[in-house]
Amino acid sequence: MGFSDLLEQVGSTGRFQILHVTLLCTPVLMMASHNLLQNFVAVVPPHYCSAHSNLSQSQLSPEEALRITVPQDHRGKPHRCQRYVVPQWHLLDKNGTSNLRKEGNSVDDLDADLQGCMDGWTYNMTDRSSTIISDWHLVCDLHSLKQMGQTIYMGGVLVGAFLFGTLADRYGRRILLLISYILMAVSGTCAAFSPSFPLFCFFRFGCGMALSGMALNSFSLIVEWIPTRVRTVVGTITGYCYTVGQLILALMAYYIRDWRWLTLAVSLPFYVFFLYAWWFHESARWLALNNKPDQAIKGLKSVAKFNRRCDEGEKIDIKMLQESMKNELSSSKGSYTALDLFRTPYMRITTVCLAAVWLSTSFAYYGLSMDLQKFGVDIYLIQVIFGAVDIPAKIIITVTMSYIGRRPSQCGALIIAGVTILINLLVPYDQQTLRTSLAVVGKGCLSASFNCCYLYTGELYPTIIRQNGMGFVSSMARVGAMVAPMVRLTGDYIPWLPGLIYGGAPILSGVAAIFLPETLGTPLPDTIQDVEEREHHHEKNAVDNQTCLSDNQ
């Protein structure tokens, strides 16, 4: 793998790499804010039907008006979506009220005619000063639009994975990253000032596309400028930036209770990221493999100068570059598409298994993370807990990836997550603390799985189609994220079915990950031929080891 030798020559872990990785990781802090933004901008506040318009001139207190206009549901709370056709004045009688409550009557027991909320809703805005739910009345018959908003956002992430993954291999990582930053900034700003829900969804779709572009190209630029020996540590640092971002979101949401200002606050930093991203160096590895040797050499010399290794950098010329990457350059001629992910046997197996891993990880992750209100505790607290659990989870996965290997780490994280979710099905619903604790453990394992599969995928795919590969498997993850809310809706008919699906999917994909090759300590492949040769070599070693064992017996 010739490029690694050139990278060592100009300094593979010098000042350039430290600054480069730091600047690329900083925007990752804000990615979680957009990914999980709906947990706070789409909080469903307690609500009930507004009183009849002819009661506005009466001398009734709000409590009395509520009593005579809104029936109670089966839990003894004001019904969210129905009211009496005419005010029930007799309920103001103390004896009538006490008898009604004593008998435990609910909506179904009342003889009075009921109707929908003809005069709108009244919201209890204790936790948030405003949300998209209260502003656009996405309740009752329109309650499914909340899930649609998140699905549309994830649709943008899906389209972005296809689009940016393909374009980055053709036009480079740097320019697509710049486009992603400005797209996120502009779309987020427009979403904050959207006058209607359809426009909000349109701009959130743009935010989703931008997030995919940032995730794919940031990670590729990081991986392609660092040596093999530090890939695990740097990949983990990048994952921790996302973890810290979840805590930052909880803090910002706690102090910014208006959904418009919160959306704007998590979008404005991307204007700054766009400005300093012009300094980023395009991947010299990508430039060399795309017939741009002069630019690759210029980039390597710039890195050498930044790392104070000017003499070593001046030795690099086109001849040295071509000689060092002779095999890679000869194999990389021609154009590559997503079809090349399935063209050869080992690439085909790798792509199918990785698709299953990414889809199930994202599917179960967002199934747990995107409805914090269901846990019955403070949403800010549960967001902090869900974010904090990533810290020990990623420490553990980093240790296992470095000493045990990528494959067993990936398999273990998925299977443990699935088992934890399935166990939760057996816990009684009233034991919220235990249920929440199990969900936190499962979420930690899924976060660890994400951390592992980002690094693992980058190591499995060769440079010439790495972005195609990352784009494809990332798109599978977004399919999982889009399906997750729809699966949750099945709980209205079969309460235990969502948990069964959320738990079963990671277990099945954990088994599929067994068929992936191990990449611990192996050089980063540049071409499809490198991948095929590596796997043939592993097969040959396995056969030789089996022969030796047979001879010894």
Structure confidence at residue 548 (pLDDT): 61
Share of the chain above pLDDT 90, in %: 23
Arithmetic mean of pLDDT, 60-67: 74
Structure confidence at residue 99 (pLDDT): 41
Please give the Cα distance from 421 to 426 (Å, whole number): 10
Nearest Cα residue to 411 out of 421, 422, 401: 401
Query: Is 239 part of any domain?
Result: yes
In the chain, the number of structural domains is 3
Structure confidence at residue 551 (pLDDT): 58
Residues 6+ apart with CB under 8 A from 494: none
259 plus 368 within the same structural domain? no
- 52 pLDDT above the threshold of 80: no
Q: What is the mean pLDDT of the chain?
A: 81
pLDDT in tens, 142-196: 877 888 888 899 889 888 877 887 788 788 888 999 999 999 999 999 999 999 9
pLDDT in tens, 86-98: 777 777 765 444 3
Greater confidence (281 vs 356) lies with 356
Contact present, 432 and 381 (Cβ < 8 Å): no
Domain end, chosen from 261, 280, 299, is at 280
Instruction: Mark 10-39 as b/e (b = at least 16 C-beta within 10 Å).
Output: bbbbbebbeebbebbbebbbbbbbbbbbbb
Most confident of 13-22, 355-364, 367-376: 355-364
> If you ran DSSP here, which 8-state letter would residue 521 be given?
T
Domain end, chosen from 73, 107, 124, is at 124
Structure confidence at residue 87 (pLDDT): 75
Question: What's the pLDDT band for 329 if we cut at 50, 70, 90?
Answer: low
Greater confidence (406 vs 144) lies with 406
Contact present, 116 and 140 (Cβ < 8 Å): yes
71 plus 148 within the same structural domain? no
Structure confidence at residue 468 (pLDDT): 80
Query: Is 533 part of any domain?
Result: yes
Sign of the dihedral defined by the CA atoms of residues 277, 281, 287, 289, in that order: negative
Task: State residue 444 phi and psi, 5-degree precision.
Answer: -60, -40
The reported pTM is 0.79
In the block, residue with structure tokens 């997503």: 338
Structure confidence at residue 101 (pLDDT): 40
Structure confidence at residue 539 (pLDDT): 61
pLDDT in tens, 368-397: 887 777 776 788 888 899 889 988 998 898
Nearest Cα residue to 187 out of 220, 160, 218, 161: 160
272 plus 355 within the same structural domain? no
Greater confidence (552 vs 24) lies with 24
396 plus 491 within the same structural domain? yes
Arithmetic mean of pLDDT, 297-318: 74
Greater confidence (108 vs 553) lies with 553
Structure confidence at residue 454 (pLDDT): 80
pLDDT in tens, 493-539: 788 888 899 999 999 999 999 988 888 888 778 778 777 777 666 66
Q: Which contacts (CB < 8 Å, 24+ apart) does range 61-69 have?
A: 64/92, 67/91, 67/92, 67/97, 68/92
- 327 pLDDT above the threshold of 70: no
Distance separating the N- and C-terminal Cα atoms of the chain: 38
- 405 pLDDT above the threshold of 60: yes
- 44 pLDDT above the threshold of 90: no
146 plus 75 within the same structural domain? no
| CATH code, domain carrying 273 | 1.20.1250.20
Structure confidence at residue 109 (pLDDT): 43
pLDDT in tens, 197-245: 999 999 999 999 999 888 888 888 888 888 777 877 887 788 788 889 9
pLDDT in tens, 238-295: 878 888 998 999 999 999 999 999 999 999 999 999 999 888 888 877 787 777 777 7
257, two tokens: 């209770």
Structure confidence at residue 256 (pLDDT): 93
Greater confidence (308 vs 200) lies with 200
Please give the Cα distance from 385 to 440 (Å, whole number): 8
DSSP 290-359: TT-HHHHHHHHHHHHHHTT-HHHHHT--HHHHHHHTHHHHHHS-S---GGGGTTSHHHHHHHHHHHHHHH
Residue 452, CA distances (Å) to 26, 158, 199 in order: 20, 20, 36
Give the number of other Cβ atoms within 10 Å of residue 89's Cβ: 12
Half-sphere exposure of 425 (CA within 13 A, CB side): 16
353 plus 370 within the same structural domain? yes
Please give the Cα distance from 447 to 146 (Å, whole number): 24
- 341 pLDDT above the threshold of 70: yes
Structure confidence at residue 107 (pLDDT): 44
- 356 pLDDT above the threshold of 90: yes
Query: Is 1 part of any domain?
Result: no
120 plus 133 within the same structural domain? no
Query: Is 539 part of any domain?
Result: yes
Structure confidence at residue 94 (pLDDT): 54
Nearest Cα residue to 27 out of 316, 241, 295: 241
359 plus 274 within the same structural domain? no
Domain end, chosen from 264, 280, 296, is at 280
Query: Is 101 part of any domain?
Result: no
Contact present, 200 and 263 (Cβ < 8 Å): no
- 544 pLDDT above the threshold of 60: no
Half-sphere exposure of 64 (CA within 13 A, CB side): 11
Q: Where in the sequence is the domain holding 75, given as residue range(s)?
A: 46-52+64-82+116-124
**Helix, strand, coil abundance in the chain, percent, nearest 5:** 75, 5, 25
222 plus 344 within the same structural domain? no
Contact present, 266 and 37 (Cβ < 8 Å): yes
Query: Is 323 part of any domain?
Result: no
Structure confidence at residue 435 (pLDDT): 83
Question: What's the pLDDT band for 330 if we cut at 50, 70, 90?
Answer: low
Question: What's the pLDDT band for 363 if we cut at 50, 70, 90?
Answer: very high
Arithmetic mean of pLDDT, 48-75: 73
Half-sphere exposure of 258 (CA within 13 A, CB side): 6
383 plus 522 within the same structural domain? yes
- 136 pLDDT above the threshold of 70: yes
> If you ran DSSP here, which 8-state letter would residue 195 be given?
S
- 104 pLDDT above the threshold of 80: no
253 plus 173 within the same structural domain? yes
Query: Is 110 part of any domain?
Result: no
Please give the Cα distance from 356 to 473 (Å, whole number): 8
Please give the Cα distance from 17 to 233 (Å, whole number): 13
Give the number of other Cβ atoms within 10 Å of residue 211's Cβ: 27
Query: Is 102 part of any domain?
Result: no
137 plus 72 within the same structural domain? no
Angle of helix 144-171 versus helix 197-223 axis, rounded to 10: 40
